[in-house]
Chain A
Amino acid sequence: MQYALLALGGFVMIFPYLWMLSTSFKARGTWYNISLIPEQFSLEHYERMLSASLLPRWYLNTIIVAAIATASVAFFSSLAGFVFAKYEFRGREVMFVLILSTIMIPTEMLIIPWYVAIAQIGWIDSLVGILMPGMLSAFGVFVMRQFMGNIPNELLDAGRIDGVSEFGLFWRVCLPMARPALAVVVIFTFLGHWNDFLWPLIVVNSDHMQTLQVGLSRLTTLETGADWGGTMSGAALASIPMLIVFLFFQKHIVRGMALSGLKG
């Protein structure tokens, strides 16, 4: 009984993906055929998408942005998390709560000041401009602090007696132990940047600076061949890399949601 219900729901979840793939393989001009298996199997939509559009360039832009932002978030989140978890100083709690409260501010509220600031510096329509607001993450600081709080202080004291510097304690003792939490921060940040839409949409104008998602949202008839098969192949190309990442890191992602205190 449970299995029947779950399978039914699972079918509803997976079907749009099957339909997307099926349509993307249907030969040009046959997208309106209602059949899950293409009559004529064809790769032409993928070929056109990868040659006629700037899609390879958009992939590159997205990977650069996501990789730099993820490295930055991972480093600064774990450093800040370490300081918040392992040092006593005045105003610690206040600062931590302030940082956490930024999670509550909706992006829609921030894009206008971001845009004005980035425009004044002259970073509109550049990868730096896309990157800038995403270099730090309150969520990352929160996850790292929670996890590092569980590392026993005796371990750090032992390190201090052995003459390890304070940064060494962070880099060589705490960071390796916090690897599971770090994996969570890395995956969620990368995923967030890969799929980000609102900010890159605003900050980038020219075609070749688009991220993958924004580029796809603006596909022209030239690139799709005025054919839904073309659009579906674009959608497949945009989502499949993250699906593969997800299959590999499924455990981390699910555990990450528990780790970040989402468990309640």
Chain B
Amino acid sequence: MFVNFSAMPTSFLFSFEDYVTIRAERNFIGLDNYTNVVSNPSFHAALRNTLVFAGVRVPIVTVLALGIALLLHSIRRAKGLFRMLYFIPFVTSGVAIAWVFKFLYLPNFGLFTYIFDTLKLPRIYFLGDPRTALMSIIAVTIWAGIGYYAIIFLAGLEDIPEELYEAAMVDGASAWQRFRKITIPLLNRTLVLVIVLALISSLQSFTFVRLMSKDGFGGPLSSTLTMPLLIYKEAFFSLQMGRASAIAVIFFAMVLIATLIQRRLLVREFEY
């Protein structure tokens, strides 16, 4: 943890230097890295893709996970079995998942192409087409994350006292009313937690874009380039440590601001 504390300021420091890995000399260059980065088209693509990634994934994964949690909560038999099924991707390595889906997405020979052909749907070149590549990867991260968030929701649901629902039923509240007036308010803290966790993990998408994008660097045409991938590329392939640090600082600010805003907007205390 000390390492992490000291690493933070170091990142800030590097972001003001013209630090290139293979050169010994390092100079203070003020905000040059930042102006350089902000005018770079790759940065624009990465920023846009990262925001799209979070904007698409967070609402879908939250709603689906809540739905699965509600279903799991409502059944009695085989609950453990189903819970396990949905949770499995959480313990699977991203590399294995990425390879399997890359195989499923394969043009011409992939299973998804076969299914589309059988259903007489137009062919989609999932990872090969700049219009669909990012969405194809987002779909995989939704699949992989859903069970984890469902388990968190389930724990929250199990905390809500049964009596509240019984009382509401006696008063003649419909299922939808019970959901709106009891479940959602009492689940508020869990909901905020899931949204924040999903947001952070969406912003940090690296493994899947690195392994599933066409060239490993956010292709085709930078359509799957995300901020973490850009940091990695700048620092360890272009060897521009200073510039990469500047992107990292901007990225950190994004994560921080997004989390703080959400806490402000979403947290409401309910006491019953």
Interface residues of A (CB under 8 A from B): 2-3, 5-6, 9-10, 12-14, 16-17, 19-20, 23, 31-32, 34, 98-99, 102, 104-117, 132-133, 136, 138, 141, 191, 194-195, 197-198, 202, 212-214, 216-217, 228, 231-232, 234-236, 238-239, 242-243, 245-247, 250, 253-254, 257-258, 262-264
Alpha-carbon distance between A19 and B80 when the two chains are bound, in angstroms = 24
**B91 to A107, Cβ gap below 8 A?**
no
List the B side residues contacting A116 at CB < 8 Å.
10, 14, 241
- B94 interfacial contact with A, CB 8 Å: yes
9 tightest A-B CB contacts, nearest first: A264-B189, A235-B96, A113-B7, A113-B10, A264-B190, A239-B96, A10-B85, A195-B93, A32-B109
Tell which of A23, A107, A113 touches B204, judged by Cβ atoms closer than 8 Å: A107
Shortest Cβ distance from B159 into A: residue: A263
**Smallest CB-CB separation from A33: which chain B residue?**
B109
Q: Is B4 an interface residue (CB 8 A)?
A: yes
Q: Which residue of B lies closest to A245 (CB)?
A: B91
Q: How far is the CA of A145 from the CA of B80 in the complex (A)?
A: 29
CB distance from A195 to the nearest CB of B (A): 4
Closest A residue to B99 by CB, please name it.
Answer: A235
Interface size class of B (residues with CB under 8 A): 35 or more
Please classify the interface of chain B as helix (H, G, I), strand (E, B), loop, or mixed, using the class held by over half of its residues.
helix
> Does B86 contact A9, Cβ atoms closer than 8 Å?
yes
Q: Nearest CB to that of B193 among chain A residues?
A: A264
Contact B151 A257 (CB under 8 A): yes
A228 to B101, CA, bound (A): 12
| A110–B11 touching, CB < 8 Å | yes
Q: Is the CB of A243 within 8 A of B92?
A: yes
B218 at the interface (CB under 8 A from A): no
CB distance from A194 to the nearest CB of B (A): 7
Q: Which residues on the A side are within 8 Å of B28 (C-beta)?
A: none
**Are B88 and A263 neighbours in the complex by a CB distance under 8 Å?**
no
Interface: B84 (CB within 8 A):
yes
